[in-house]
Amino acid sequence: MITTNDFKTGITIEYEDSIYQVIEFQHVKPGKGSAFVRTKLRDLRTGAVIDKTFNSGIKIETAMIEKSEMQYLYKNSDTHVFMNNETYEQIELHESRLENELVYLVEGMNITIITYGNEILGIELPEKVILEVVETAGGAKGNTTSNATKEAVTNTGLRLSVPLFINEGEKIVVSTATGRYDTRAK
């Protein structure tokens, strides 16, 4: 158990039968009345972000979250199979649990699985991934205005804007946080 005075960004708590991660917090001491803590919390089961205000000093239960390094193996119908790199144990996650992450998953990629007890809460992707461009519009010759881009589609189905010099078959580095082109892969 911790108190609201011990909140830090990234800490996980159990509150009202849900598991939350503290995204932001602010201790407020008004001129009149008692102090309170204003927080922004992410529900680790649904991904929803809520604003919650706690009285200062109340006790909250911490949630023991485990993270395991796993490798993405393959897609099997509407599930995706992952293997623990240490125990070689395999788990399957339904596509609906990975909606936002699917466009970044490439076979053989190492990711982190987040669990709470026996419940799988989700996956954590690397900051950047290497994807192959499979379709792109041709860049217009002479179009050299600053930051000129064209649309491209990667081997995972991600649609994004890339610089005009990127062609089909090239590998690019994409940020998983923003979904934007970062650099050309070496």
**What pLDDT sits at residue 52?**
93
What's residue 140's pLDDT? 56
Write down the pLDDT at residue 119: 86
Spatial distance between the Cα atoms of 179 and 88, rounded to a whole number of angstroms: 30
Task: List per-residue pLDDT tens for the chain, 186 residues long.
Answer: 888 888 888 889 998 888 998 999 999 988 888 899 999 998 888 878 999 999 988 999 998 888 889 999 998 888 899 999 888 899 888 888 887 888 898 889 999 988 888 888 888 889 999 999 999 886 555 555 567 888 999 998 899 999 888 889 999 999 988 889 999 888
DSSP per-residue letters across 109-150: -EEEEEEETTEEEEEE--SEEEEEEEEEPPPPTT---TT-EE
Which of 74, 106, 124 terminates a domain? The answer is 124
One domain for residues 134 and 120: no
Residues 6 and 58 in one domain: yes
CATH number for 84: 2.40.50.140
CB within 8 A of 174, min separation 6: which ones? 104, 128, 129, 130, 131, 154, 158, 160, 180, 181, 182
Q: What is the pTM of this model?
A: 0.72
Say if residue 70 is in the same domain as residue 58.
no
Does 56 share its domain with 80? no
Q: Write b or e for each residue in 137-161: b if 16 or more Cβ atoms lie within 10 A of its Cβ, otherwise e.
A: eebeeeeeeeeeebebbbebebebe
Cα dihedral 24, 29, 32, 38, rounded to 10, equals 10
Task: Looking at the structure, tell me whether residues 77 and 89 fall in a common domain.
Answer: yes
Clarify whether residues 49 and 34 are in a common domain.
yes
How many domains does the chain fold into? 3
Do 57 and 7 fall into the same domain? yes
> Are 9 and 58 members of one domain?
yes
Of 16, 42, 62, the one marking the end of a domain is: 62
Range of the domain at 100: 66-124
Q: Which of 40, 62, 84 is the last residue of a domain?
A: 62
User: Which pLDDT score is estimated for 144?
Assistant: 58
82 and 56 both lie in a single domain:
no
CATH of the domain at 51: 2.30.30.30
